[in-house]
Amino acid sequence: MSTKAYAAFNAEDPLKPHIIERRALDPKDVFIKIEYCGVCHSDLHTAKSDWGPTNYPAVPGHEIIGRVEAVGSEVTKFKAGEIVGVGCMVESCKHCHSCNQGLEQYCENGFTGTYNSTKSKYGGVTYGGYSENIVVEEDFVLHIPDNLPLENVAPLLCAGITTWSPLSHWNIRKGDKVGIIGLGGLGHMGVKFAKAMGAHVVMITTSESKGADAMNLGADEVLISKDPEQMKKHAYSFDFLLNTIPVAHDVNPYLLLLKLDKTMCMVGAIEPLPGVHGGVLINKRRNIAGSLIGGIKETQEMLDFCGKYGIVSEVEVIPMKDINEAYIRMQKSDVKYRFVIDMKTL
């Protein structure tokens, strides 16, 4: 079916209106009219071929909220009219060890990304959420709680689950001292989730003003990481650190904050980290780990949790035509904390 979308055609050009084709409904497919789509750093990286050659034209967007318009004959979980979500994945092998555990993000045969993937069993390249509509297998569609503003829910599908998954995996609970490093799209969700899980939440940032913002979002304390005295005072005191800084940086000052046997989990910096010090790991049996988005089952659990505790992302809603300006502002971290496109404006 021919559908309007916004696409990148090469690494330099801005996104432009375009017509794409969506597949006809398979028996297990859900046809979704998109209402809102969050703007993730990955969208820009893909538009610009930052992560290897992009398959152009590329339609970004993997924080998708929409309404079911039609379902295939074998769909059991969704009905027309229902509000649903789609995140970073639209297919996986469903039979490997990871998929069997509900960890499709670590599919041993590689999941199919919501956009720019050539791995789909339906052929072609996947097109994302900067689009009128999308067709997705029901196993990769999420139920959305009915008590939350939809534009604020969209970023939960990537920024939300990316921070929820490690906090849940490392079993954060009441009384834990948890540091969230960096306050952006990911970090602000980390603060909200860790707080709701009962942790004592410390915002770790270079910026006094971001510290103040984090306190407004629910943080219990601020640690200014460029102040060696403050860093020393908090040394060896954290149960978990969620590091959302999106670029390479010296992680050793943060590692020194961890107690014996505790972990710092990286979710932002997908690049080489300079000089992780073996001695800092060895001296207190500390760990550095990474975590990638989250599985479908835990994404649903996160959404249900958000419904129960009234947690959403802080967003700035934009019309489709402002996307290129939003990209420029996003690169300067000039957004609190996520742009969301209102798809009525396409």
Query: Of residues 215, 224, 231, 273, which one binds a copy of itself by CB under 8 A?
Result: 273
Query: Of residues 53, 73, 228, 282, which one binds a copy of itself by CB under 8 A?
Result: 282
The yes or no reply on residue 310 touching a copy of itself (CB under 8 A) is: no
Sign of CA dihedral 12, 91, 157, 293: negative
CA atoms within 13 Å, Cβ hemisphere of 6: 26
Query: Of residues 25, 215, 224, 281, which one binds a copy of itself by CB under 8 A?
Result: 281
What x-and-dash track marks residues 122-161 binding a copy of itself by CB under 8 A? ----------------------------------------
Q: Which two tokens stand for residue 143?
A: 């139920």
The yes or no reply on residue 93 touching a copy of itself (CB under 8 A) is: no
What x-and-dash track marks residues 243-272 binding a copy of itself by CB under 8 A? -----x---x-------x--x--xxxxxxx
In the complex, minimum distance from the CB of residue 98 to a copy of itself, in angstroms, rounded to a whole number: 6
Total residues contacting a copy of itself by CB under 8 A comes to 38
Pick 133 or 291: Cβ nearer a copy of itself: 291
Contacts (Cβ under 8 Å, ≥6 apart) of 110: 92, 93, 119
Q: Are strands 287-290 and 29-39 parallel, antiparallel or unpaired?
A: unpaired
H or E, element range at 177:
strand 177-181
Q: Which two tokens stand for residue 303?
A: 């959404």
Query: Which phi-psi region, left, alpha or beta, contains residue 33 (left: φ > 0; alpha: ψ -120 to 50)?
Result: beta
In the complex, minimum distance from the CB of residue 285 to a copy of itself, in angstroms, rounded to a whole number: 5
Q: Which two tokens stand for residue 139?
A: 């196993």
In the complex, minimum distance from the CB of residue 139 to a copy of itself, in angstroms, rounded to a whole number: 20
The yes or no reply on residue 215 touching a copy of itself (CB under 8 A) is: no
The answer to whether 127 and 23 have CB atoms below 8 angstroms apart is: no
Query: Of residues 124, 274, 310, 319, which one binds a copy of itself by CB under 8 A?
Result: 274
In the complex, minimum distance from the CB of residue 280 to a copy of itself, in angstroms, rounded to a whole number: 8
Separation CA 41–CA 30 (nearest Å) = 27
